[in-house]
Amino acid sequence: MVNQQSIIQNKRKLYIESYGCAMNFSDSEIIATIMTENGFETTNNEFEADVIFLNTCAIRENAEQRIRDRLKHLRSNKKSNKDLIIGVLGCMAERLKNKLLEEEKLVDVVAGPDSYRELPKLVAEVDDGGRAINVLLSREETYGDLNPIRLNTNGVSAFISIMRGCDNMCSFCVVPYTRGRERSRDPKSILIEAKELQKNGFKEITLLGQNVNSYLWFGGGPKKEFKSLTPEEQINSTDFAQLLELVAIEVPNMRIRYSTSHPRDITENVVHVMNKYENICNYIHLPAQSGSSKVLELMSRNYTREWYLDKIYMIRSIIPNCGISCDIIAGFCSETDEDHKETLSLIEIAQFEFCYMYKYSERPATPAAKKLEDNIPESVKGDRLTEIIKLQNAISLKKNMTYVHQVVEVLIEGDSKKSKDFWMGRNDQNVVVVFPKTTESKGDKVKILIENATTTTLIGKPI
Ligand code: 5AD
Ligand code: SF4
């Protein structure tokens, strides 16, 4: 008979590397859960792995290029371990499908975001000498029944995925094609996961979805609008404002954040719920993408510059100190100097805490790739991006300087990147704070007097 010890020793080792957005990092925890339930154990050492999964991103060309380079590099691991199985999962797998098996001869498994339950079977197919692929997208899968194990965790903050897919069809974006139709997860399972995190000592939860404000639970399946539900479904449904409130009440001692909001769908209700509960952080990520209504229309964002700015006024009128961050794309198809100036002026008016800023990267098969010409020269995209970054950095610095001499509450996440003698955490508005260690521990909430600031960081001392 095989004893328990030898079973443990014989477990095959899985190494997962994640790229892209928080949703992908959260998916890697789902993948690890499925694999460990099927006899694997995770490792942080790629050289002792029997299986390496890259959980990939396809959002911009350079994201995919990075992964191709990594795959080439992994060839050497394969040389020293001929049984090593390499899988490409996630958005790039979904976008390129079996092209990845054909082009990158070192890939054994290709699996899209909705086929992770099949991974043990796919690996077994490779064990039997084949190569394996599953890129079917689902209309129902939310992995809601799984209780994810936490990977590379700081033990303080964790993600909870509340929905999957995206129905927005922004013309530049590959996500609807890589992650499929939008569907929401059963709120009961979300509350169970939140409680479990609290039990395990976590202090902060971020509710994740491509477009959290369109979260709507009515029993499962592809997204529907509230007005198209039956009266019974309407009574029993849960929208995002309700979900946020349920989570805030369920785990009153945990900080709650969420991401990402679409400006078209964010409602006053959600902002009122944020305002009502002390434990919901005053921070909203609200990507504008552009400040020009003409460009926004070409992007199929379904709002105008004025609509976007109205949302900013609405948020700040309810929560004056709300931190707001943004995504901006520079050099989208047909963007003129005038359009670009409108983006600069929107940034100036909105006064974001911070911004994620990108050059437009055409993605094959998206509506923009099919219908619009990627006609802004790279050098112009680069110049515009530089100008946007310069402006936003000045605003971030100015906003961060307003914290100097103020006391903020910080949740300690771990050591600061630069020095083990300093803690790093975030304030309510999601701004990074570092301060010298005294008697505190990771996971504590502490009051910090801010003494200095940079574009990205507040520097202070405990009081
Ligand atoms: N090119 C550049 N940036 C993009 N994003 C999405 N698609 C593209 C693209 N094709 C940006 C958007 C989005 C963020 C996650 O990535 O700003 O909000
Ligand atoms: Fe996330 Fe989009 Fe990248 Fe997929 S393509 S990993 S959804 S950012």
Domain check: are 168 and 269 in the same one?
yes
pLDDT bracket for residue 8 (50, 70, 90): low
Any domain includes 16 = yes
Residue nearest ligand 2's atom 7 by CA: 175
Any domain includes 248 = yes
123 lies in which domain range? 4-134
Q: What average pLDDT score do residues 273-284 get?
A: 98
Q: What average pLDDT score do residues 391-404 get?
A: 98
Q: What ligand 1 atom has the least distance to the C-alpha of 59? A: 7
pLDDT tens digits, 93-152 = 999 999 998 877 779 999 999 999 999 999 999 999 999 999 999 999 999 999 999 998
Domain check: are 323 and 438 in the same one?
no
Cα 279 to ligand 1 centroid, rounded to whole Å: 30
pLDDT at 1: 42
Domain check: are 387 and 442 in the same one?
no
pLDDT tens digits, 291-319 = 999 999 999 999 999 999 999 999 999 99
Cα 446 to ligand 2 centroid, rounded to whole Å: 34
> Domain count of the chain?
4
Ligand 2 proximity of 20 Cβ (cutoff 6 Å): yes
Ligand 2 proximity of 84 Cβ (cutoff 6 Å): no
Quote the percentage of the chain above a pLDDT of 90: 94
Tell me, what CATH number does 298's domain have? 3.30.750.200
For residue 155, pLDDT beyond 80: yes
Q: Which of 398, 423, 444 is the last residue of a domain?
A: 398
Contact of 30 with 146, CB cutoff 8 Å: yes
For residue 182, pLDDT beyond 70: yes
pLDDT at 10: 77
Q: Which of 104, 134, 164 is the last residue of a domain?
A: 134
Closest ligand to 365 CA? 1
Domain check: are 394 and 440 in the same one?
no
Domain check: are 157 and 263 in the same one?
yes
Ligand 1 pocket, Cβ-based, cut-off 6 angstroms: 59-60, 172-173, 287, 289, 327, 329, 358, 360-361, 363
For residue 6, pLDDT beyond 50: no
Q: Which of 28, 30, 59 to mutate to test the pocket of ligand 2 (most atoms within 8 A of CB)?
A: 59
E strand or H helix at 134? strand 132-134
Domain check: are 269 and 297 in the same one?
no
Instruction: Determine the Cα angle at 428 with ends 427 and 433, to 5°.
Output: 10
The two three-digit tokens of residue 184, written as one number:
């929401």
Q: What average pLDDT score do residues 350-367 get?
A: 97
For residue 7, pLDDT beyond 80: no
Cα 159 to ligand 1 centroid, rounded to whole Å: 21
Q: What average pLDDT score do residues 211-237 get?
A: 94
pLDDT at 9: 60
Q: Which of 227, 251, 277 is the last residue of a domain?
A: 277
Domain check: are 449 and 413 in the same one?
yes
Ligand 2 proximity of 343 Cβ (cutoff 6 Å): no
Sheet holding 204-208, edge to edge: 157-161, 204-208, 255-259
Distance from C-alpha of 323 to C-alpha of 431, rounded to nearest angstrom: 8
Any domain includes 144 = no
pLDDT at 102: 87
